[in-house]
Amino acid sequence: MNIKKIPAAAPLAAALTLILSPTTPAYAQSINRDAVAQTATELDTVEVIGKTDYRYVQKRSTTATKTNTNLLDVPQAVTVITQDLIQDLGIQGMADAVRYVPGIGITQGEGNRDGLVFRGNSSTADLFIDGMRDDVQYYRDTYNIDRIEAFKGPNAMIFGRGSPGGLLNRVTKVADWETAREFGLQFGSWDKKRLTADVNQPINDVAAFRVTGVYEDSEGFRDGFELKREGINPTLSLRPGENTLVTLGYEYFHDERTADRGIPSRPASQTFNGTRYPVETDRETFFGDPAGSPTWVDVNAFNVLVQHQFGNGALLRSRTRYADYDKLYQNVFPGNVNATGTTVALSAYNNDTQRNNLFNQTDLTFDFATGAVKHKFLVGAELGRQETDNERRSGTFTPGQSACLAGSTSSSCIVPLADPNVSLSVVYANNSANGSGDARNTGVTKVAALYAQDQIEFSPNWEAVVGVRYDRFDVDFTDLRNGVATDRRDLSSSDNLISPRVGLIYKPAENLSFYTSYGITYLPRSGEQLASLAFSTQSLDPEEFKNYEIGAKWDITPRLGATAALFRLDRSNVAVVDPADPTNIRMVLFSGDSQRTEGVELSLSGEVTEAWQIIASYTYQEAEITRDIRTSATSVTPKGTELAQTPKQMVGLWNRFDLSPNWGVGLGAIYRGESYATTSNAVTLKSYARYDGAVYYTVNDNIDLQLNVENLFNKKYFPSAHSDNNITPGAPRGYYVNARFKF
């Protein structure tokens, strides 16, 4: 297995230069602008993806119910990160996107992928794009994103398996009939260099073309860290008939960086008030071998969307996505610190994954009435196939190398805690016992789903959303290692999942709604990433998540909205070790739930005055194990154990003040309460508050300048972790200058 080199940047840079050329084809100049404007208006009857209404406020969504619905009428907590907010905050990744979203936190993701915590449930798979599954482990970018939708609670009725605590859906920029050309440059701390482009060009009244692109070459505050990424996403929209719209798209995206697993915690001998904390070290100190810890991904994705309006509210929409992912990560990372706090053990492994996803979703929506009761009905089907190849190999350290101290072994290199950034010789070879690495497998997952939903309007005051989804989920899994028992080589698992969703909405006024909802989602035993299928668990029922929620949504003004949600999320059917036979895994035999998250989420977003934009969030949650769970013959996770990286309180507040037509300033703060790195509850991540600022200057209609300053007061903090010995330090104060040019 070879480490792939970064593709040459020159072709992409040349393409972006050509795209941004001010030259306009003659035929494009000859378009009848009135006809184009009329066409764009007519397209609203077909193109049902909502637009941002007011800067930090999004009024409607087609994703939450698969119909074009006012968010006031959606019985679920939903937060939308709009395009204006993405630009004002300089959001470039998913961790930045959820900074001011209630109920969602972040994990380290082992330094190679997006990792999020939704209402106490950690996930690397609950990420979607235009409502389609995008579940490979990598870092996503926002260069081609119009907005990001955060849905809280189970979402199986709309999205299928998983997503027990919530999910993120990215809505992409696609070609429409509005001419726009934007070019962005960013420079900043740690040699940050980033170029983006967004060109939207009507060709005639039948066709429009758009292309977005990104190129970045940056470093980071951690010693030896490097980041390079490039992407391009052209789309073509066609209108073959008055009521039909076809959108074609392709994305190539490459991200390559240093996999950074953070720093270890103090040894068990150095506790304070019964708990351990991260070791004392400079934030810049890299533990391991940065040159030997590369991670990269190549994504090639094709998308086709066909929409046809039959009239009288009937709409047929079919979306197909084929995506090819090639992902590798390799890391030399820290483990335990010795009892005297002078040395740390390093380990190494790599993981190679290839996946092909092919999904189709076809929906038919139509309106009808039964007397005075109005219905918006949805029927749909989803077919999917995922092919995955995965291999994991442990690294062995060459004996006798000078960087490893006495006591080192082939699987563990001991280095000084005061000087842990080392260059090592590591071999990732076949295991002689079985002819391969720790794991080498291939699998095919097939999904077939049918769903139906009725949005019922009983009266101007009362509405309901009732839906159910059936999923047939089949996994065929083959262990490719030599020497593995025959009965474990070819495994399979099948699940028939029925996921209901029920919501009741009361609207005492047009701008105010109260709701209550109930939903169920399932996580099959094959795991969220389909990388393995444990033989001993293949016959067990999938994990089950139930969400109970009541809430309120209030459009205080057309440009300012507030939401509140009170929820309880229960998890059951958890697989645990049989205490009588540690070689077997079984479900908890007693009835009831084994994990629960309860809490309150509050949010406020929009325009307080014409010159004052705000987004604010508050979360209070209690997430814990609700009964003793034996995890081995001698170990028990006791009742009351807190879930990992789920602080009881989270607060976010961002303000933008426009001082004049040209000048504006931004000021924000986030607070995270104390939490534990893992469910061992042995290592604590202290509470912290971080402050950010920004200055905005509009030079003219075509040029905008922006300065973002993150961590204004240079706070030292730890925002995330992966394990008790992989804890991520927060970045020091950083400065980023952005320039946007419009043509």
The 10s digit of each residue's pLDDT in 537-581 is: 555 678 899 999 999 999 999 999 999 999 999 998 876 545 455
The 10s digit of each residue's pLDDT in 188-235 is: 999 999 999 999 999 999 999 999 999 999 999 999 999 999 999 999
Residue 265 DSSP label: B
DSSP string, 271-311: -BTTBB-BPP--TT---B-GGG-EEEEEEEEEEEEEEEEEE
For the cut 70, the answer to whether the pLDDT of residue 115 exceeds it is yes
pLDDT of 592 reads 55
pLDDT of 13 reads 42
Maximum CA pair distance of the chain?
Answer: 84
pLDDT of 685 reads 97
Mean per-residue pLDDT over the chain, rounded: 89
For the cut 80, the answer to whether the pLDDT of residue 582 exceeds it is no
Residue 241 contacts residue 311 (beta carbons within 8 Å): no
> Is 159 inside any structural domain?
yes
Beta bridge partners, 122, equal 117
For the cut 80, the answer to whether the pLDDT of residue 587 exceeds it is no
pLDDT of 440 reads 86
The 10s digit of each residue's pLDDT in 429-465 is: 766 555 557 888 899 999 999 999 999 999 999 999 9
pLDDT of 96 reads 97
Map residue 643 onto helix, strand or coil: coil
Closest among 557, 561, 505 to 73, alpha carbons compared: 505
**Residue 21 pLDDT level (bands cut at 50, 70, 90):** very low
For 496, the domain range is 10-742
For the cut 60, the answer to whether the pLDDT of residue 35 exceeds it is no
The 10s digit of each residue's pLDDT in 252-284 is: 999 999 999 999 999 999 988 888 999 999 999
> Is 239 inside any structural domain?
yes
Lowest-confidence region among 89-103, 498-512, 587-601:
587-601
**Residue 45 pLDDT level (bands cut at 50, 70, 90):** very low
pTM tops 0.85: yes
> Is 702 inside any structural domain?
yes
Residue 234 contacts residue 266 (beta carbons within 8 Å): no
Question: Could you tell me how far CA 597 lies from the centroid of its own chain?
Answer: 20
The 10s digit of each residue's pLDDT in 636-684 is: 888 999 999 999 999 999 999 999 999 999 999 999 999 999 999 999 9
Provide the CATH number for the domain around residue 606: 2.40.170.20
pLDDT of 484 reads 64
CA dihedral 217, 221, 222, 227 (to 10 degrees): -10
Residue 539 buriedness (CB in 10 A; 0-12 / 13-18 / 19+)? exposed
For the cut 80, the answer to whether the pLDDT of residue 510 exceeds it is yes
- In Å, how far are 206, 393, 488, 537 from 585, measured between CA atoms? 59, 25, 15, 6
For the chain, how many helices (H) and strands (E)? 6, 43
pLDDT of 435 reads 53
> Is 3 inside any structural domain?
no
> Is 126 inside any structural domain?
yes
Mean pLDDT (whole number) for 156-172: 94
- What percent of the chain clears pLDDT 90, i.e. is strictly above it? 78
Please give the backbone phi and psi of residue 96, each rounded to the nearest 5 degrees, phi first.
-70, -35
Rounded to 5 degrees, what angle do the CA atoms 340, 345, 346 make?
155
Q: Cite the beta strand spans of 610-729 per DSSP E.
A: 612-625, 629-630, 636-637, 649-658, 663-672, 675-676, 684-685, 688-700, 703-710, 720-723, 726-728
pLDDT of 628 reads 83
Residue type, 512: L
Lowest-confidence region among 212-221, 322-331, 582-591, 610-619:
582-591
Mean pLDDT (whole number) for 275-299: 97
pLDDT of 86 reads 98
> Is 411 inside any structural domain?
yes
Beta bridge partners, 544, equal 522, 572
> Is 298 inside any structural domain?
yes
DSSP string, 48-102: -PPPP-BTTB--EESSSSSS-EEGGG-SS-EEEE-HHHHHHHT--SHHHHTTT-T
Tell me how far apart the alpha carbons of residues 439 and 534 are, in angstroms, rounded to a whole number: 12
pLDDT of 576 reads 56
pLDDT of 546 reads 94
Residue 590 DSSP label: S
For the cut 90, the answer to whether the pLDDT of residue 34 exceeds it is no
The 10s digit of each residue's pLDDT in 122-148 is: 999 999 999 999 999 999 999 999 999
pLDDT of 53 reads 54
pLDDT of 6 reads 40
**Residue 105 pLDDT level (bands cut at 50, 70, 90):** very high
Q: How many domains does the chain have?
A: 1
Residue 643 contacts residue 120 (beta carbons within 8 Å): yes
Lowest-confidence region among 374-388, 434-448, 491-505, 706-720:
434-448
Length reported for the chain: 743
The 10s digit of each residue's pLDDT in 347-382 is: 999 999 999 999 999 999 999 999 999 999 999 999
For the cut 60, the answer to whether the pLDDT of residue 237 exceeds it is yes
Q: Cite the beta strand spans of 537-627 per DSSP E.
A: 543-557, 560-572, 575-578, 581-587, 595-609, 612-625
Tell me how far apart the alpha carbons of residues 32 and 595 are, in angstroms, rounded to a whole number: 61
**Residue 9 pLDDT level (bands cut at 50, 70, 90):** very low
Mean pLDDT (whole number) for 166-170: 97
Mean pLDDT (whole number) for 499-506: 98
Tell me how far apart the alpha carbons of residues 497 and 160 are, in angstroms, rounded to a whole number: 9
For the cut 90, the answer to whether the pLDDT of residue 477 exceeds it is no
Please give the backbone phi and psi of residue 561, each rounded to the nearest 5 degrees, phi first.
-130, 150
> Is 5 inside any structural domain?
no
